[in-house]
Structure 1
Amino acid sequence: MTDDEVKRVYFNFNSAEPIYLQVAQQIEEAIFTGSYHEGAQVPSTTEISRDFHINPATVLKGMNRLVEAGLIVKKRGIGMFVAEGAHAVIVDRRRKAFYQDKVIQLIKEAKGLQISEGELVDLIKRGF
């Protein structure tokens, strides 16, 4: 990993969230932000495990989640690479989650506060 990539990666070893999920999330975030472009090679399990003192099997488990999700592909003997269309898949999934997790909750809260649809739209435009 480059120095810039290392600075952006953070694993919370005290978190209840398993490290393999954090590995998957870190790589997904790097794809989302453009740090890893489609077709680019991602760091190997050996690099990540060595750089962050994580068991290689744990790193591989996280990377395999991304393979199963179609975000990275294994090229035997070469390494793992960002899949074509991975960024679009992430954006689509995050848009859906944004709607479910944020927009629906916002509407519920607005209704509870007796904010009309028009007022809510105005508030969003003002904030945007």
Structure 2
Amino acid sequence: MFLNTSGSKPIYVQIAEWLETEILSGNIQQDEKIYSQYQLADMFNINPATAAKGLNILADASVLYKKRGLGMFVATNAKEMILSKRKNQTLKRLVKDIVIEAEHLNVSENELLQLIQAAYKDRGELE
């Protein structure tokens, strides 16, 4: 993964989102120890404090839990929490933005639904 250092999204948020994606994809399992702030700092060539902020986002959301003296671990229900958050926050926001843009372009609801259905059909080409 590459961090977008010139974008508007803070690096620590990108770190948290990357870790979420790793958990969702099964690369990091429940109750498995997660990378330390120093490992993340080495991996992405960033300040350890920045990496710690990314980890703390997930700890504050209870996606990760701390074991004193051992580090941070993935919570048992982390995958479900991440899926719920991404559906209820990220996906809803994206859909709302698409609807607003469709209105600006005078695209009807039916046309928009057809575009979404076509995207589902062609999703192999999107990757």
What is the TM-score when the length of structure 2 is the normalising length?
Answer: 0.74
Give deviations 1:31-73, integer Å, cap 9, x for gaps: 1222111111111111111233211111111111110011111
**Equivalent of residue 98 in structure 1, options 79, 91, 96:** 91
Q: Which structure has the greater CA radius of gyration? A: 1
Tell me the secondary structure at the aligned position of residue 42 of structure 1. Answer: coil
Q: Distance in 2 between matches of 1:51 and 1:107?
A: 38
Q: Which runs of 5+ in 1 are unaligned?
A: 1-8
Tell me the residue number matched to 1:49.
41
Contact 2:102 2:112 survives alignment (8 Å): no
Taking every aligned residue pair, what percent have the same amino acid on both sides?
Answer: 32
Unaligned runs of 5+ in 2: 121-127
For the aligned residue pairs, the C-alpha RMSD in angstroms reads 2.6
Q: Does 1:113 align with 2:107?
A: yes
Change (3 A) 1:21 1:100: closer
Aligned partners of 2:107 and 2:6: how far apart in 1? 38
Q: Distance in 1 between matches of 2:79 and 2:93?
A: 20
Secondary structure of the residue that 2:102 maps to in structure 1? helix
Structure 2 residue 18 is matched with structure 1 residue 26: yes
Matched residue type, 2:102: E
- Which of 28, 38, 44 in structure 1 is aligned with 2:30? 38
Report the equivalent of 1:84: 76
| Equivalent residue letter for 1:68 | D
Q: TM-score, normalised by structure 1?
A: 0.73
Q: How many residues align?
A: 118
